[in-house]
Amino acid sequence: MNGVGIRLIDVAKHYRTAAGQVHSVDGIDLEVEAGTSVAIVGPSGCGKSTLLGLLGGLEEPTRGKIWIGDTELSALSETERARLRREEIGFVFQSYDLLPFLSAFENVGFQLALIGAPDGESRTAELLDRLGLAEHAGKLPDQLSGGQRQRVGIARALVHRPKLILADEPTGELDSLSSASAMDLLIEAQRAIGATLVVVTHDMAVAARLDRIVPLKDGRLAKDRAVA
> In this structure, is residue 88 part of a structural domain?
yes
User: In this predicted model, which residue has the larger pLDDT, 79 or 23?
Assistant: 79
> In this structure, is residue 55 part of a structural domain?
yes
Q: For position 185, what pLDDT does the model report?
A: 79
- CA–CA distance, 111 with 172 (Å, rounded to integer): 24
Altogether, the residues listed in the chain come to a count of 228
Query: Domain span at residue 213?
Result: 6-226
> In this structure, is residue 142 part of a structural domain?
yes
pTM for the complete prediction?
0.87
Q: Kindly tell me if the per-residue pLDDT of 106 is higher than 90.
A: yes
What is the mean predicted confidence (pLDDT) over 8-35? 87
Q: For position 31, what pLDDT does the model report?
A: 94
Q: What is the pLDDT of residues 44-71, one digit of tens each?
A: 777 888 899 999 998 889 899 999 999 9
> In this structure, is residue 45 part of a structural domain?
yes
What is the mean predicted confidence (pLDDT) over 138-160? 88
What is the mean predicted confidence (pLDDT) over 108-113? 85
Asked if residue 185 lies in contact with residue 178, where contact means CB atoms within 8 angstroms, the answer is: no
Of 89, 37, 83, the closest CA to residue 68 belongs to 89
**In this structure, what CATH number is given to the domain that contains residue 74?**
3.40.50.300
> In this structure, is residue 1 part of a structural domain?
no
- The total number of structural domains in the chain stands at 1
